[in-house]
Amino acid sequence: MLLRAHDESRSGQPQVRRTWGWDPRPQGVLSLWGGPSRTSAMGTLEPLASRYDLGVRKTRSDSVPGWEPFDFFLLTFPVIEYRFAMAQFTIPARNETKEMRYQMGYALADLANEYPNVVAVDADLRSSSGLHIFEHFHPDKLVKVGIAEQNMISVSAGLSQEGFIPFPCTFDAFCRRFLDQLYISVAYSRTNVKVLGAYVGLFTGKAGATHQSDKELGVLLRMPNLRVIEPGFNEEMRQALRVAVETPGPFYLRIVRCEVEDNEAGPGYQFRLGQGTTVIDEGRDIGLVSTGYMIRTAKRAAQKLRDRGVGVRLDHHPSLKPFDDGLLYDMASKVKAIVTLENHCTSGGLFSLVAEAFARRGVPVPVGAIGTDPEDFIHTGHVNDLLAHYRMTSDDVVEKAMGLLAGKGGRME
């Protein structure tokens, strides 16, 4: 009925009838449920749809042993699925893009070459998330569930039970829709599902508050069995994906949309689950603790602090759960104050992890937080304007650090 209502809202002849010769006004609900396959239009369209249907089934079954075609649109609306399948998306060259979402698509495709049981599950956002690149190389390994995020997680859990390693992917903001499925079907059941949350934080500023995610870590970090990773650069993301494939159990990876450097941690860097890394160790005045994209802001702030004669240590923590408390305590024993930097609100994420770790041991080091406002929805606007609004620039980090060293702002802020 949605298709009929959508079509009749337009003026003139229904779009479906103009395009396919199918009148979307059936005699009853049952005839509509039958879809295009039970209309007179099938006399023309059935051969085309059938060839596509059989071709996809054969490709999938040949490439992935045990694969069964369960794409809802493929089985129920073959003609509509055929049109969707023919959509063409721009594929940026691997060496011409720094956007993490696109590099993620290439990295996942590479892993699927190496591990035949790696598959991706899409909730109708593949051209935005970067999964269209994966689809370009492995059309037989992409399961499309439509705009149905809860079902995406449930289908992924089922796939994992059949021996696949599924990577369901949607906007990180939409994880709010499938938290129950993630909690029960993935975390509680310890299924081998690796969720990719794209478009994290405020770096999708023009999309508005509905598509931005800066509060979700408060829930994700408290789910038992779920590992949570937030890579800050492309090489780290590639290594984190490999670790997720090779480590049994649930993972959640937060993938930023924007351009990032290939390596922010120096040559020979190796991502390890549950471990952070010291990127800069040049003094004992201020400690900077970053995760995700904010490593680049931390590095810029570190240079500005050094220019002022302030000694800086920078530790990067892509593994938020499990978290490297040992590296944090080591920093706390050597610096006078600490500033955390995260592409998330300052409650429930990195700052909370640091504050909780210090509370457990009674660590007396002052800590300041850089991040979005936990009591505000992210505004709509250009990324640079949003960074300035939420005081998340390198200059803001310097100001926060200098204030802590001067004894301003108390112990935690």
Alpha-carbon gap, residue 227 to 194, rounded angstroms = 9
Q: Band of the pLDDT at 32, cuts 50, 70, 90? A: very low
Judged against a pLDDT cut of 50, whether residue 339 lies above it is answered with yes
Q: Which residue has the higher pLDDT, 53 or 180?
A: 180
**Region 386-411 average pLDDT:** 88
Per residue in 284-329, pLDDT (tens digit) is 999 999 999 999 999 999 999 999 999 999 999 999 999 999 999 9
Alpha-carbon gap, residue 392 to 76, rounded angstroms = 48
**Region 99-125 average pLDDT:** 93
Q: Which string of b and e fits 2-21 if b means at least 16 CB within 10 Å?
A: eeeeebeeeeeebebeeebe
Q: Which of 255, 288, 309 finishes a domain?
A: 255
Q: Which string of b and e fits 106-127 if b means at least 16 CB within 10 Å?
A: bbbbbbbeeeebbbbbbbbbbb
- Average pLDDT value for the chain: 83
103 plus 231 within the same structural domain:
yes
Residue 168 belongs to domain with CATH number: 3.40.50.970
The answer to which of 4-8, 159-163, 220-224, 345-349 has the lowest mean pLDDT is: 4-8
Q: Band of the pLDDT at 257, cuts 50, 70, 90? A: confident
Instruction: Judge residue 206's burial from the number of C-beta atoms within 10 Å of its C-beta, 0-12 exposed, 13-18 middle, 19 or more buried.
Output: exposed
Give me 401's structure tokens. Answer: 């650090």
- pLDDT at residue 336, as a whole number: 96
Range of the structural domain that residue 328 is part of: 277-405
Helices (runs of H) and strands (runs of E) counted in the chain: 18, 12
Number of compact structural domains in the chain:
3
Report how far apart, in Å, the C-alpha atoms of 133 and of each of 64, 88, 392, 406 are. Answer: 19, 11, 32, 50
- pLDDT at residue 259, as a whole number: 83
289 plus 388 within the same structural domain:
yes
Q: DSSP per residue over 8-64, as a string?
A: HTSSSS-HHHHHHS-----SSHHHHHTGGGGSTTHHHHHHHHHHHHHHHHHHHHHHS
- pLDDT at residue 207, as a whole number: 77
Token pair 């300035």 is found at 388
- pLDDT at residue 38, as a whole number: 38
Q: Is residue 80 part of a domain?
A: no
Give me 357's structure tokens. Answer: 């770790």
**Region 32-40 average pLDDT:** 39
251 plus 281 within the same structural domain:
no
Per residue in 178-235, pLDDT (tens digit) is 999 999 999 999 999 999 999 999 888 677 788 888 999 999 999 999 999 999 999 9
Per residue in 145-154, pLDDT (tens digit) is 999 999 999 9
Length of the chain: 413
Residue 377 belongs to domain with CATH number: 3.40.50.920
Q: Is residue 410 part of a domain?
A: no
pTM score:
0.78
- pLDDT at residue 226, as a whole number: 98
Strongest mean pLDDT among 6-10, 62-66, 97-101:
97-101
The dihedral over CA atoms of 216, 224, 258, 381, expressed in degrees to the nearest 10, equals 0
Helix (H, G, I), strand (E, B) or coil at 250: coil
- pLDDT at residue 125, as a whole number: 87
Beta bridge partners of 252: 195, 228
